[in-house]
Amino acid sequence: MLKVDIFYRNNLNIRLIRSYLEIKPTIIRDLEAAINATKGQPMTLTIEATGNPKPTVRFFRGTDELVAAEGQIELKEAEDGQTFTATILSMQPNQQGDYTATVQNTGGMAKSKKCKVTVTSKPSIILQISCIFYFIHIESPEFLRVPQDLTIAEKSEAVFECEVDAFPSAKITWLKDGKPLTVKEGVEIQAQTDKGLYSLRIPQADTTKHMGTIICRAENAIGTAEHPVQLNITTAPTLKTPLKDLDILRGQDAVFSIDIQGYPIPEIIWSRSEKILEGENEAISFSEDRKQLTIRNVQIENEDEYNVRIVNEFGEITSKSKLNVLGKFDFHHMMFLN
Residues 255 and 231 in one domain: no
Across the range 100-104, mean pLDDT stands at 96
The pLDDT score that the predictor gives to residue 136 is 59
Residues 81 and 159 in one domain: no
CA–CA gap between residue 47 and residue 60 (Å, rounded)? 13
Residues 24 and 115 in one domain: yes
Residues 109 and 189 in one domain: no
CATH number of residue 327's parent domain: 2.60.40.10
Residue 137 lies in a domain: no
Residue 139 lies in a domain: no
Q: E-assigned strands of 108-244?
A: 108-111, 115-120, 125-129, 132-136, 139-145, 150-153, 158-167, 171-176, 179-180, 188-192, 197-202, 212-219, 224-241
Residues 247 and 230 in one domain: no
Q: Of 211, 239, 208, nearest to 317 (Cα)?
A: 239
- DSSP characters for 161-185? EEEEEEESPPEEEEEETTEE--GGG
Residues 224 and 260 in one domain: no
Q: Which of 103, 120, 137 is the last residue of a domain?
A: 120
Residues 11 and 89 in one domain: yes
Residues 258 and 220 in one domain: no
Residues 321 and 288 in one domain: yes
CA–CA gap between residue 338 and residue 332 (Å, rounded)? 10
Q: Which of 235, 251, 266 is the last residue of a domain?
A: 235
C-alpha dist (Å) from residue 8 to 5, 21, 22, 53: 10, 18, 19, 21
Residues 18 and 37 in one domain: yes
Residue 92 lies in a domain: yes
Q: Which of 87, 120, 153 is the last residue of a domain?
A: 120
The pLDDT score that the predictor gives to residue 131 is 43
Contact 185, 209 (CB under 8 A): yes
pLDDT in tens, 163-215: 999 999 999 999 999 999 999 999 999 999 989 999 999 999 998 899 999 99
Residues 87 and 12 in one domain: yes
Contact 317, 238 (CB under 8 A): yes
Across the range 136-143, mean pLDDT stands at 84
Across the range 240-255, mean pLDDT stands at 94
Residue 264 lies in a domain: yes
Residue 125 lies in a domain: no
pLDDT in tens, 273-296: 889 998 778 889 999 999 999 999
Total number of domains constituting the chain: 3
CA–CA gap between residue 226 and residue 217 (Å, rounded)? 4
CA–CA gap between residue 172 and residue 4 (Å, rounded)? 65
Residues 113 and 157 in one domain: no
Q: How confident is the model at residue 17 (pLDDT cuts 50, 70, 90)?
A: very low
Residue 138 lies in a domain: no
Whole-model pTM over 0.85: no
Residue 180 lies in a domain: yes
- DSSP characters for 95-113? G-EEEEEEEEETTEEEEPP
Domain that holds residue 291: 242-337
Residue 134 lies in a domain: no
